[in-house]
Amino acid sequence: MATGQDVYVTPPAVPGNLGGGDGSQGHPFHSVGAAMAKAKANGGGVVRLHGGHYVESVFLEDFCQDGQKIVVRPDGGGEVFIDSMLPEFLAPEGPHDQWFKVIPPGGIFTGEYVWGRPYAPPGGDEEAGRVRQGAFLDEPVHTRLVSYDRVEDLTAPGQIWPDDLEEGNRVWRLHPDQAHFADLYKPEDRPDRAHYRPWVYMGPGIWFDQEVRDEEHAKPGSGGRRIHIRLAPTTNNIPGWPDYDPQTTDPNQVRLALSREGEYAIFLKHCSHIRFENLTLRFGSPDTVRLNACRDIVFDHCRIRSGSRAITLLAEEGFQNKDVRVEHCVIDGGIPTWLFRSDRKDIYLFGPDAPDTATAARGDLCEDRLGSSTSGVQLSGDARSAGVIVHHCEIFNAHDSYVFGDKMEFHHNWVHNLNDDAIAVSALGGTKNAKIYCNVVTQCLTALSFAAPPVGPVHIYGNLIDIREPTLGTRPSGKGTGVRESLRQGHFFKDGADEGPIGLFHNTCLVLDPGAQGDDLTDLTDAGFSYYATIGASKPRQAFNNIMVVAYTPAPALKPVAFLAPKSFVCKTNGNAFFRIPQGDAGSPNFIVRRRGLLAENGTFADLKRYRDHYWPDGVGAYEKDSTLKDPVFKSFDTVTGTPHRGDDLRLRFHPKSPAKGTAVPMPQELRDMYAEATGTEPADRGCYPWTGAHLQVGVDGRRAYPRMRPGPHPDTHPDDTPPVVVDGG
């Protein structure tokens, strides 16, 4: 409970005007930051925000360290917005506060505009004060502007990225033998890589001209330190992924939110005991919310519209972020439906056609970072974090999201449409003693990613992971229809071969045509489930009572169900239910075992019995002793193609042929206790759904139920659903 006097705030009449009264109900502040400072001076209290827009970046330092408590919440009706954006784009201040056309000498107007006023670097720091993050204000959903690295891409006439060009930007890479040729680069010459790249327009976006020029320019909008913009339509033509089709390409007719580098909607440094409730926090660059060495901070029922990133937790040496809770929040990354993962990931070096070698010191190579700044990690932190809890949140339309620090809990969240990692152990996160449970993951490229070795155990249980729907992966090259070559099917698990202990138990997981083309991950997709694919020097892993279903739609691409653990890898794995669609010919490989190095163990097996007989002919200590390779018999599921239907019900049917109903194998007591605490039931059935359990309800207030429950003739279906394929007449 907050103590002290209530402080009142109303939005200013002019956005960005942060003056106001004394914080009383009759004379409210116009600034959230000023109101919180008054609450601090009062010994704590409730900051009550009247509905409307507060265009400011709230920065607080050393607040409530002595046990004071502050709550920030709406007062009365209307949504409360705290927007970290430049106010002149809502309320122009002068004649130069507008967009001017850019027409090259003797050239043709391409749709490029430039803002009439420059943005001087604060304190002479040319890297600071940049304006390169933006979003639309009037789109029905949060939609980012592309943050362009090169103006040539912003103004490019083409939108495809052919990989067989013989002219354009010549691509360079580090010499493969750096031991003898340090800092030496050579032109790209590998047959499976693009040797040239064209400039490419990736969609409506901005480019910030960072150069500072001394000369005077008579024409408004010329010179450096200015924002350039282009709002031309896109023509990717990928069904289900709408192109940008504007009513106007004139930015003077469109409301925009542009953010200055290093400014955030909320930035707390060395703060404690602050709670934010029912607010909409938007924009910022690069983060919407940043916490530095904070304790007991809560975001409850907030709607967070990200800059490049949504929430970042960082701390300097000797400090940590502790006991931070993000609960019942919507975290929208705003990545547009015309931006591809490759627009962020395929950064390249380009240089001259001759000579055939170059060095960084010679300065003849340039980098094109494309649109990499547009969308980043939505939830991230470093090893100086402890006790972070994220629950009942919705994280969607973004690049990826992390689990980090000590004792982090991530549960009952819905993670959707992330074009990279849905749940990643971050490279700098120092993840240990983490619990990831009862989440729903849909339409993401990688469900679980261990990009660096965690310090301690990570437990993953009770999750529904259904990544059969594709994500927007690779910009069309122009060779095909743009559909098959651009959409990316998700894969289940990625690791670095030297992780610490991982526990994977009671999850229901489905993948369709799992693929990782273009990422040097061809081994990973040799089977549908790669939990044991690249174990290397990893510490023991556990896998109990999971249901793993993989479907392959192109007939020639039928691959095994899963990698299994080699005998030399000490682990505990049993009670898992595997199923492949189509099941394939008798004797076709369903499992792969692979381990490289001194203990090379490679092989394929048609079934689990042959796997066990190969490694444990006497039957003693066999892995996957009670695992099965059969249809788990879901309530409603297309067992012919494995493709998703809205009426899918992935709970187990009460059916005598179900190998997963009532057959869960005993687990170590620690895992059993975790599962019982999370679900309220004892682990009796395989997969994430106890047969007698309720729907898995995730997201804000548990409003997203799986299976999806909507009105219809039957409680488990919807009138618009394609009837699912049901087995055995039941």
How far apart CA 264 and CA 84 sit, in angstroms, is: 6
Lowest mean pLDDT among 50-59, 98-107, 306-315, 619-628: 98-107
Q: pLDDT at residue 712 above 70?
A: no
**Region of poorest pLDDT, from 21-30, 401-410, 552-561:** 552-561
Q: What is the pLDDT of residue 28?
A: 94
Instruction: Using alpha carbons only, give the angle 143, 222, 256 rounded to the nearest 5 degrees.
Output: 20
pLDDT reading at 116 higher than 70: yes
Residue predicted with more confidence, 410 or 4: 410
What lies within 8 Å, CB to CB, of 453 at 6+ separation is: 496, 498, 499, 500, 538
Query: What is the spatial distance between Cα 474 and Cα 110, in angstroms, rounded to a whole number?
Result: 25
pTM given for the model? 0.93
Least confident of 130-139, 299-308, 693-702, 718-727: 718-727
Are 694 and 462 in contact, with CB atoms under 8 Å apart?
A: no
Over range 191-209, report the average pLDDT. Answer: 94
Nearest to 459 by CA among 231, 725, 677, 720: 677
Tens-digit pLDDT profile for residues 290-337: 999 999 999 999 999 999 999 999 999 999 999 999 999 999 999 999
Strands (E), 399-439: 402-403, 409-411, 414-425, 434-437
Of the candidates 301, 354, 295, 363, the residue with the CA atom closest to the CA atom of residue 331: 301
Which residues are registered as beta bridge partners of 197? Answer: 169
CA torsion 686-687-690-695 (nearest 10°) is: -160
Helices (H), 576-730: 608-615, 669-679
644: left (phi over 0), alpha (psi -120 to 50) or beta: beta
Which pLDDT belongs to residue 178?
81
Apex 352 CA angle, 346 and 358, nearest 5: 85
Higher pLDDT, 4 or 411: 411
Whether the Cβ atoms of residue 293 and residue 132 lie closer than 8 Å to each other = no
Confidence of residue 724 (pLDDT cuts 50, 70, 90): very low
> Looking at 68-175, which runs of residues are DSSP E strands?
70-84, 99-101, 112-115, 131-136, 146-147, 169-174
User: What is the per-residue pLDDT for 272?
Assistant: 96
Give pLDDT, residue 730: 31
- The pLDDT, as a whole number, for residue 2 is 57
From first CA to last CA, the distance across the chain in angstroms is 54
Percentage of residues in the chain with pLDDT exceeding 90?
67
Mean pLDDT of 663-677: 96
Sign of the Cα pseudo-torsion (357, 363, 365, 367, in order) = positive
Q: What's the confidence (pLDDT) of residue 720? A: 39
- Reduced to 3 states, what is the DSSP secondary structure of residue 678? helix
Closest Cα to residue 386, out of 296, 499, 500?
A: 296
Closest to 314 measured CA to CA, from 377, 373, 374: 377
Task: Out of 145-159, 457-471, 706-720, pick the least confident.
Answer: 706-720
Among 570-574, 588-592, 653-657, 700-704, which stretch is predicted with the lowest mean pLDDT? Answer: 653-657
Give the pLDDT score at 352. 84
Cβ count within 10 A of residue 526: 17
C-alpha distances (whole Å) from 82 to each of 138, 167, 282, 398 are: 16, 47, 6, 21
Query: Residue 214: is its pLDDT beyond 60?
Result: no
Distances (CA, A) of 449 to 285, 331, 425, 480, 540: 26, 20, 6, 30, 17
From 133-147, 385-399, 418-432, the region with the lowest mean pLDDT:
418-432
How far is 619 from 625, CA to CA, in rounded Å?
Answer: 9
DSSP character string of 247-284: S---GGGS-EEEEETTEESEEEES-EEEEEES-EEEEE
Asked if residue 233 has a cis previous peptide bond (ω within 30° of 0), the answer is no
**CA dist., res. 623 & res. 613, Å (int):** 10
Q: Which of 348-357, 551-560, 607-616 shows the highest mean pLDDT?
A: 607-616
Q: What is the pLDDT of residues 140-169, one digit of tens each?
A: 899 999 999 999 999 999 999 988 898 999
- Backbone torsions φ then ψ of 86, nearest 5 degrees: -80, 120
For position 484, what pLDDT does the model report? 62
- Helix (H) and strand (E) counts in the chain: 5, 55
Identify the CA nearest to 9 among candidates 29, 39, 38, 36.
Answer: 29
Residue 728 has pLDDT above 70, yes or no: no
Indicate the domain borders of the chain: 92-254+355-376, 439-730
Amino acid at 429: G
Q: 6 with 45: CB under 8 angstroms?
A: yes
Q: What is the pLDDT of residue 216?
A: 45
Q: What is the CA radius of gyration of the chain?
A: 27
Query: Is pLDDT of 576 > 80?
Result: yes
Among 423-437, 594-608, 668-682, name the one with the lowest average pLDDT: 594-608
Specify the DSSP class assigned to residue 660: S
The secondary element (H helix, E strand) that includes residue 694 is: none
**pLDDT recorded at residue 120:** 81
**Among candidates 413, 410, 374, 379, which has minimal Cα distance to 289?**
379
- Residue 481 pLDDT > 80: no
Q: Tell whether the model's pLDDT for residue 219 goes beyond 60.
A: no
Give the DSSP letter string of 339-397: --HHHHH--EEEE-SS-S-EETTTT--EEE-TTTTSS-BSEEE-SSEES-EEES-EEEE
Report how far Cα 375 is from the mean position of its chain's Cα atoms: 9
438 and 414 in contact (C-beta within 8 Å)? no
What b/e sequence results for 306-337 when a residue is b if at least 16 CB atoms lie within 10 Å of its CB, and e otherwise? Answer: bbbbbbbbbbeeeebbbbbbbbbbbbbbbbbb
Which residues in 497-518 are b (16+ Cβ under 10 Å) and which e?
eebbbbbbbbbbbbbbbbbbeb
What is the spatial distance between Cα 619 and Cα 377, in angstroms, rounded to a whole number? 46
pLDDT classification of 44: cutoffs 50, 70, 90: very high
Residue 721 has pLDDT above 60, yes or no: no
pLDDT at 103 over 70: yes
Report how far Cα 250 is from the mean position of its chain's Cα atoms: 31
What is the Cα–Cα distance from 157 to 235, expressed in whole angstroms?
A: 11
User: Is residue 517 a contact partner of residue 477, using CB atoms and an 8 Å limit?
Assistant: no
Can you list the alpha helix ranges (DSSP code H) found in 160-199?
Answer: none
The tokens of 140 are what?
């029905």
pLDDT for 217 beyond 90 = no
pLDDT value of position 685: 94
Is the pLDDT at 711 greater than 70? The verdict is: no
The overall average pLDDT reported for the chain is 89
pLDDT in tens, 281-290: 999 999 999 9
The Cα 251–Cα 230 span in angstroms is 8
For the stretch 176-192, pLDDT in tens is 888 888 888 999 998 88
Q: How confident is the model at residue 362 (pLDDT cuts 50, 70, 90)?
A: low
CB 528 within 8 A of CB 580: yes
CA angle 587, 590, 595 (to 5 degrees): 120
DSSP state of 578: E
Q: What 3-state class would DSSP assign to 503? A: strand
Please give the pLDDT value at position 147. 98
Of the pLDDT bands very low, low, confident and very high (cuts 50, 70, 90), residue 525 is confident
Quick one: average pLDDT of 484-505?
88
Average pLDDT value for residue range 39-51: 94
